[in-house]
Structure 1
Amino acid sequence: MPRLVVISNRVAVPKARGVAGAQGGLAGALNSALKANGGIWFGWSGQETDKFTGSVNYVRSAEGVTTATIDLEKQDIEEYYNGYANSTLWPLFHYRIDLARYEREFAKGYERVNERIAESVLPLIEPDDQVWVHDYHMLPLAERLRSMGTENRIGFFLHTPWPPTNLFVSLPYHERLVRAMLHYDLLGFQNDTWLESFLHYCGKELGAEVHHETGAITFEGRTTYARAYPIGIDFDFFASKGETEDAAKAEKRLITSTRNRTAMIGVDRLDYSKGLPERLDGISRFFDRYPERVRDLVFIQIAPPSREDIGSYQDIRATLEQKAGQINGARSEVDLVPVRYVNRGYSQEELFGFYRASKIGLVTPLRDGMNLVAKEYIAAQDPADPGVLILSRFAGAAQQLDCDGEGALLINPHSSDDLAHNIAKALDMPLEERRMRHQNQLKSVREENIQRWTDNFVSDLASLAS
């Protein structure tokens, strides 16, 4: 079996005593794949250096997984990471061209860092290795590696959406970026919507020969395959969190503090793509329409901060604090607050407990590649008395969790009225219907797990490239 080389912006560095395998989610799945195949996980260390040297820092776990990282200069971080990746590509890929910054220096920094990553990882790649690159930070990496003589099978997976052609063409030098992507052997997308957007661009803008059934894209004498690989959670790993004392304490803590009110929860990284201001507007509309139900429902929004050096993220935090304050100011009593806004993160054990104690899960991004919080919420529910998932139809997870109309309640996150209506529907949903919907979603979450995602991609990379 060929060795696997995983390349991503950041790396899950093994901890002392080799407990890398104790991780769940993407880190756990990739570590498992690396452990099974042997190999290296390469990326940026997250650290800053005065002068880039390309020297590689190695850490080897007791389970045989090696991580290799490089440090970047301050200018690299500003232009590649804060700049082009997170101020240009991230908003564009989430349909927010109004927030995207198109600056020449950002693009130069992005290309420079991809060149540096290619130069640094090249000596680590052996002739029979399979290379798997992750996410929008490294779209052109295969082209750089090919130009340096790499002939290995190279795959790429995009964890974000891919925007429609009429939005993507707003990016300067968009053709150059996609041409570079076609040096991968296999391109993976979260669902059919993002895949079809990419295939449409290749046919319309590049004039490539596109075979929609197989995902084959033939351009300038080279064929690349593009397919959908919906990512899942590590179901068994996450379910095991529910058996811990921390999870039990968290569940009891939330139930006790709500004092017979129904808990509704949202857990999102603080990001404008998550639809958090629109979510609070919908909750405000619900309380306006059903003022008597302010004693029936308490909403808990957990929103850990992210990318705090970027202005648009500072703005979203201020907006949320204002909107939460307005709802509480209008609806609170001396013994009651309808919205709890928490600007910090929690462990997986605690989140499991919070999910289980909440009878409504609110996952309403304006646009999301997949959204694994939705799947974690389903996995954490008590099958005998499960909660209801309210899910944005613009999240990648909606394709799997709609379950032909008998799963999650799908909403338009831009519509306060739609959200308010479905909150009321969830509150009043009979137990039998809740059980039926949960059972349908649970089957998908359990079967379409992250291990299957990893196996499908790696095996396709081997077979298609050969």
Structure 2
Amino acid sequence: MNRLVVISNRVASSNKPASGGLAIAMEELLQRRGGIWFGWSGDIVDSETPTSDRIHINQDNLIIRITIDLTQQQHDSYYRGFSNDVLWPVFHNRVDLAKFDNFSFEGYQFVNKMFALAIQKFLRKDDIVWIHDYHLIPLASELRELNCHQRIGFFLHTPLPPPIILETIPQHRALMDALAAYNLIGFQTIQDVDHFRSYLEKRKTTYFSNKASNECYSIELNYKDFPIGIDTENFIEFSSQNAATDACQEIKQEYSQRRLIIGVDRLDYSKGLIHRVQALKELFRIYPENRKSATLIQVGSPTRETNLAYINVREEFESLCGAINGDFGELDWVPIRYLHQTLSREKLAGFYRAASVGMVTPLRDGMNLVAKEYVAAQNKEDPGVLILSQFAGAAEQMKEALLINPYDIKSTANAIQLALKMSKRERIERHQSLLQVIVEKNVHWWSSEFLNALISGKQLVSNRENLIKSLSAEADIT
């Protein structure tokens, strides 16, 4: 069995249980196959520290965790700069929030080259390499420069925007050209695949083709949708354990006279938090019977708190919550209970189970696993209703949710009313269909499908000169 090498921006810690789809899937795969997990340590060191002293190796059973420190300048350009000030907003259709500059792109390229140099010395000829997410798009290209011939796959966890949005990035050609070095590119949704194909067709690129020979690297480059899931059966079991059950009972007792609506999100501008509470305000206006009856519990996990765009979102969101509570609240009822903190998995599972309605309403999202966790946590005999944005990747799979356009405030308010009034029979039918999807397409299915597709491809024969000639010819034409 080929050894697996996973490369991601961060490496899951061996000191605490894995959480999140990527961490759970990679832990399970690496424990079964053996291999390496490589990424940034999370630490920032002095720029004078030699690169060799920044690499840390920790073996945990069959997993070798290799991490590397960054300097402040590298962090600011690679991570905070190009990754999160350019790629994240553009990939979520927020070009207005992007900060384009050559410094951050140069730092992004440099760190990817540094990662390649660091991991290359640990690679074996028959390793299977799986690279994750937008931070590391150029990494395979850098590895090919170092004469690495392993099969290399890439999975994008965010959405891929349509060409007209993608092309706002001044360096979009360099980014997409770097993808020529991969044997397999995985996307979350069919729509993402369509956007990628449209970009290639628009550029009339000669070295990309779906399930066809890649002339530059002599790679059979494939690209396909592989929607990520959760560890569904484990989460179902987890939701019925004592800690989660206690949290569920506690919140039900505290809100015994209320119908609970739950939202769990990072405080990110892509999550649609402002639109969500505006819809709740509209619900109380047009359906006043929900006053003193329905309460939104919104968990807003802190994230990127030094970024101005995130600061603005938090301030606007908290101001709007305060205004709604002031306008509609009474001494014995608060319309919105806002928790600016990261809750334990036990509490979250309990909150999901106690809520009559789960609201997952991002303006754009790659997948959104909260939607799947909410469904998995429900009591099958008396489940809640999932309200899901049509702009979340999960909407392609979870069609039995109440799908909404989060920009349409009145329609979202109507969806909340429908969910609160839905019959038990319809709730059970919808939940059964949703549960079947997330059980069949769980996180283990996702990782197996991708890895099997990567391994089954043709053997790589590197041909860097053809790539350079192809790109040079295209540059001359354009």
- TM-score between the two structures when normalised by the length of structure 1: 0.95
For the aligned residues, what is the CA RMSD? 1.4
Query: Is 2:148 the partner of 1:147?
Result: no
Instruction: Within 5 Å, give how 1:292-307 maps onto structure 2.
Output: 292-307=289-304
Residues 345-390 of structure 1 deviation map (CA, whole Å, 9 limit, x = unaligned): 1111111110000010000000000000000000000110000000
CA distance in 1: counterparts of 2:458 and 2:333, whole angstroms: 60
Is the Cα contact below 8 Å between 1:208 and 1:217 reproduced in 2?
no
Aligned to 2:394: 397
Task: Say if 2:456 is the partner of 1:429.
Answer: no
**What does the per-residue CA deviation read over 1:25-64, in whole Å, with 9 as the maximum and x for residues that have no partner?**
3212101111222110000000011035333211111x32
Q: Are the aligned partners of 2:153 and 2:183 in contact in 1 as well (CA < 8 Å)?
A: yes
Instruction: Show the 5 A alignment for 1:88-99.
Output: 88-99=86-97
Say whether the 8 Å CA contact 1:24–1:238 is kept in structure 2.
no
Gaps of 5+ in 2: 460-478
| Cα distance in 2, alignment partners of residues 10 and 465 from structure 1 | 30
SS at structure 1 position matched to 2:305? coil
Q: Does 1:451 align with 2:444?
A: yes
Aligned partners of 1:322 and 1:87: how far apart in 2? Answer: 25
1:241 matched to which residue of 2?
238
- Given that 1:7 and 1:43 are in contact with CA atoms closer than 8 Å, whether structure 2 keeps it comes out as yes
Provide the C-alpha distance between the structure 2 equivalents of 1:434 and 1:195, rounded to a whole number of angstroms.
32
2 CA distance for matches of 1:401 and 1:306? 27
C-alpha distance in 2 between matches for 1:360 and 1:117: 44
How far off is 1:290 after superposition?
Answer: 1.4
From the superposition, tell whether residues 101 and 217 of structure 1 become closer, same or farther in structure 2 (CA, over 3 Å).
Answer: farther
Deviation at 1:240, TM superposition (A): 2.4
Partner of 2:4: 4
Q: Deviations along 1:96-153, whole A, 9 cap, x unmatched?
A: 0011110111111101110111111110111100000000000000000000110100
Residue in 2 that maps onto 1:287: 284
Cα distance in 1, alignment partners of residues 329 and 457 from structure 2? 59
Paired with 2:283 and 2:24, the residues of 1 have a C-alpha distance of 39
Q: Give the counterpart letter for 2:430 in structure 1.
A: R
- Between 1:250-259 and 1:127-136, the stretch displaced more is 250-259
Give distance in 1, aligned partners of 2:416 and 2:20.
31
The one-letter code matched in structure 1 to 2:14 is P
Matches of residues 15-34 of structure 1 in structure 2 within 5 Å? Answer: 15=15, 25-34=21-30
- Deviation, 1:292, is 2.7
Q: Give the TM-score, by structure 2 length.
A: 0.93
3-state DSSP class of the match of 1:355? helix
Do 1:361 and 1:377's aligned partners in 2 also have CA atoms closer than 8 Å? Answer: yes
Cα distance in 1 for partners of 2:341, 2:458 equals 44
2:242 counterpart of 1:253: no
**Residues 11, 67 of structure 2: 8 Å contact kept:** yes
Structure 1 position 219, deviation (Å): 5.4
* Matching residue's letter, 1:139: I
Task: State the 1:207 CA deviation.
Answer: 2.6
Equivalent residues in 2 for 1:18-97, closer than 5 Å: 25-51=21-47, 52-55=49-52, 56-61=55-60, 63-97=61-95
For residues 120-199 of structure 1, the aligned pairs below 5 Å read 120-199=118-197
Which one is further off, 219-228 or 419-428?
219-228
Shift of 1:341: 1.1
Match of 1:101 in 2: 99
Give the aligned partner of residue 467 of structure 2.
Answer: none
1:345 to 2:342 alignment: yes
CA–CA distance in 2 between the matches of 1:143 and 1:24?
A: 28
Distance 1:349 1:83, change over 3 A: same
- Give the letter aligned to residue 99 of structure 1: L
The one of 406, 410, 419 equivalent to 1:413 is 406
How far the C-alpha of 1:66 sits from its partner, in A, is: 1.3
Report the more deviating stretch, 282-291 or 265-274. 282-291
**Equivalent pair of 2:129/2:152 in contact (CA under 8 Å):** yes
Distance across 2 between alignment mates of 1:210 and 1:183: 10
Q: Measured at CA, do residues 122 and 384 of structure 1 come closer, stay the same or move farther in structure 2, by a change above 3 Å? A: same
For 1:60-87, what per-residue CA distance to the aligned partner results, in whole angstroms no more than 9, with x for missing partners? 11x3211100000001111111110001
Q: Which moved more, 1:234-243 or 1:389-398?
A: 234-243
> C-alpha offsets along residues 213-267 of structure 1, whole Å, 9 cap, x if unaligned?
x4x4745464421111000001122122223222112101211121321000000
Partner of 2:471: none
Compared CA separation, residues 341 and 24, structure 1 to 2 (3 A): closer
Alpha-carbon distance in structure 2 between the residues aligned to 1:239 and 1:121 = 37
Contact 2:180-2:217 at 8 Å conserved across structures: no
CA contact (8 A) 2:265 2:301 kept: yes
CA distance in 2, matches of 1:366, 1:453: 24
CA shift for structure 1 position 211:
5.3
Read off the aligned partner of 1:428 and give its amino acid letter. K
Work out the CA distance in 1 between the residues paired with 2:213 and 2:296: 47
C-alpha contact (below 8 Å) 1:209/1:218 kept by paired residues: yes
Deviation at 1:210, TM superposition (A): 6.1
Q: Identify unmatched segments of 5+ residues in structure 1.
A: none
Q: Partners of 2:458 and 2:27 in 1: how far apart?
A: 23
Q: Secondary structure at the match of 2:43?
A: strand
Q: Do structure 1's residue 232 and structure 2's residue 229 form an aligned pair? A: yes
Aligned length: 455
Stretch deviating more after TM superposition (219-228 or 353-362) = 219-228
49-58 or 22-31, larger mean C-alpha shift: 22-31
Identity within the alignment, %: 43
CA contact (8 A) 2:209 2:222 kept: no
Judged with a 3 Å threshold, the aligned counterparts in structure 2 of structure 1 residues 374 and 23 are, in CA distance, closer, same or farther, namely closer
Deviation at 1:427, TM superposition (A): 0.8
